[in-house]
A = this chain, B = another copy of it.
Amino acid sequence: METWLTGLTPLSFLERSAAVFPDKTAVVYGRSELTYRELSDAVQQRARALRAAGVRPGDRVAYLMPNIPELLIATFAVPLAGAVLVAVNTRLAPEEVRYICDHSQARVLVADSVLAVALAPIAAHLSTVESIIIAADPEGPPAQGTIPNAVSLSELLAGAAADPAGEEAAPAWAVADEHATISINYTSGTTGRPKGVMYTHRGAYLNALGEVFHSRHDEHSVYLWTLPMFHCNGWCTAWALAAAGGTQVCLREVRGDTIWQLLDRHGVTHLNGAPTVVTAIMNAEQAHPVDRPLLVTTAGAPPSPTMIQQAEQMGLRLVHVYGLTESYGPYSVCQWQESWGAADQETRARLQARQGVGMIQAERLRVVRTNTDTDTGDGELVDVPADGVTMGEIVMRGNNVMKGYFRDEAATAAAFAGGWFHSGDLGVMHPDGYVELRDRAKDVVISGGENISTVEVEQAVVSHPAVLEAAVVGVPDDRWGERPKAFVILRPGHTATEVEILAHVRSRIAHYKAPRDVEFVTALPKTSTGKIRKFELREKEWTGHQRRVQG
């Protein structure tokens, strides 16, 4: 590369916006605001403070923090210090946090003062962390308890500010190697240890630009942080908004009442979240139709046609994207087609519920089977027919997939068998080139030798007007091995019997796919990002049975 070329890094976006929009509001949180100049200053201060705390280029710095400005600042400050951000899921148990700190070999752990109490049991047992830094949240509730030997971020900042000279004074908004790791995001795998997914400066830059395009971000964007920042670095959205020069609204807790207050107060134009989050927002007590453009990007599970219809009626523009931690968050988008406008609402919603096509910066999606015949090419990836029926595994590659799993070459090699990243998701390719997710490989129900997509069954269940949310899992069946079972939350004020729901489902999908049982529940177990923990539902049902079909 010529010396005058520069490496791709999302740091350049903040450098630019701080120069171009110095007095524009970059961050809002409660009663406090930061302009782009102030955000840039805060980022540089933290970078200097981290250096002063002993952080060296390539070191990992773990953060345990909700969606508050300090974590947003860290998304830039840690890479600006030349280090690697490890944003830890705030809902993990202390032992899980310890595992991630140890596995990532974090040198420093920065914790929110309110969440820090959860570190007490593990603080003395972290094998690589040399400093625990506690960041007070002036807008948050009072902290409880203290961590021995922890230092406060404010003291560290004061110390760094007192010594502004020298090499540490002005870290460069540039990278020597754009393939350097910018962050490690640990998967929320429901089985086994989480894996550390490495993002690069280049990948983060390109993904952010892709999101700017598909979400139509510009300097008028007001983005509400309903998606956890620790999840895929918030789908790279902090970087995308800095690129566009928009405003980011932080919030400590994702609650319906807070969300609607912020939506209305700040004229929010964009938010992201799993369908369960979007459902919660749309069904909050304070929910009301909006009369300004509000683009809601959803992923993590296919939005049900019912949800898409409801969003449309409320004036929300729903954009459905799909991806994994390994793909920097979104990789594909269900690109709207003009011709869909002529379809009836239900057909439209079905088309929109598909996972779609690769984003502008991504490669295409493929749906493949692996050819294991040693005569014709061992391990070759063969595309399934684009018939909307034949299931295969969804694979991806290009700049929008991770560099690899940190300290796990075997898992990296396995994930990239055949040169493409294996998502573990099963889907079909439609004749129009749109991919539709049928199931996580581990969630599919195999009944009498037939694959049943639990997603398809769930969509049939949720289309019943009395149903708010549903989850379908395979349960033991003496004859068929497994059969689908539905767990259902009814809408407040609505009633429906098991018989009514089953009759409705059978009117929409093949009988062999329909559940035989419906269990009415008031809540479903969910991950911190709003995905339903089907694993837990299955465990309960399979206790005492031998799992014959899948592990």
Contact = CB atoms under 8 A, between A and B. Distances in A.
Interface of A: 1-6, 8, 12-13, 15-16, 19-22, 24, 179, 209, 212-213, 216, 218, 243-244, 335, 337-338, 357-358, 360-361, 363-364, 397-399, 401, 403-404, 416, 419-421, 433
A357 B4 contact: no
Contact of A16 (B16, B218, B360): B360
26 contacts: A3-B416, A4-B398, A4-B416, A4-B419, A4-B421, A5-B179, A5-B397, A5-B398, A5-B399, A6-B397, A6-B398, A6-B399, A8-B399, A15-B364, A16-B357, A16-B358, A16-B360, A19-B433, A21-B337, A209-B209, A209-B360, A209-B361, A212-B213, A213-B213, A213-B244, A216-B218
Contacts of A6: 363, 397-399
Contacts of A13: 360
Contacts of A399: 5-6, 8
Contacts of A4: 397-398, 401, 416, 419-421
A202 to B, nearest CB: 8
A8 B3 CA distance: 19
A159 B433 CA distance: 31
B360 A243 contact: yes
Contacts of A397: 4-6
A22 B339 CA distance: 12
Copies of this chain, whole number: 2
A261 to B, nearest CB: 25
A476 B233 CA distance: 63
Most buried by B among A8, A22, A416: A8
Contacts of A357: 16, 19-20
A203 to B, nearest CB: 8
A1 B202 CA distance: 11
Contacts of A20: 335, 357, 433
A143 to B, nearest CB: 38
Contacts of A360: 13, 16, 209, 243
Contacts of A398: 4-6
Most buried by B among A2, A19, A22: A2
Given A16-B357, A335-B20, A433-B19, A179 B1 contact: yes
A209 B404 CA distance: 26
A209 B13 CA distance: 14
A386 to B, nearest CB: 11
In the A-B complex, list the 6 residue pairs whose CB atoms are closest, starting with the nearest: A4-B397, A6-B398, A20-B357, A19-B433, A20-B335, A4-B416
Nearest to A1: B179
A152 to B, nearest CB: 35
Contacts of A216: 216, 218
Nearest to A12: B363
A240 to B, nearest CB: 11
Nearest to A335: B20
A466 B397 CA distance: 60
A8 B1 CA distance: 14
A337 B397 CA distance: 39
A2 B209 contact: no
Nearest to A19: B433
A358 B13 CA distance: 11
Nearest to A432: B22
A424 to B, nearest CB: 16
Contacts of A24: 338
A509 B335 CA distance: 54
Nearest to A243: B360
A2 B364 contact: no
Contacts of A209: 209, 213, 360-361
Contacts of A404: 2
Contacts of A22: 433
B2 A403 contact: yes
A187 B5 CA distance: 21
Nearest to A358: B16
A491 to B, nearest CB: 36
Contacts of A244: 213
A433 B36 CA distance: 14
Contacts of A15: 364
A363 B5 CA distance: 10
A358 B12 CA distance: 11
A364 B419 contact: no
A46 to B, nearest CB: 22
Nearest to A360: B243
Nearest to A18: B433
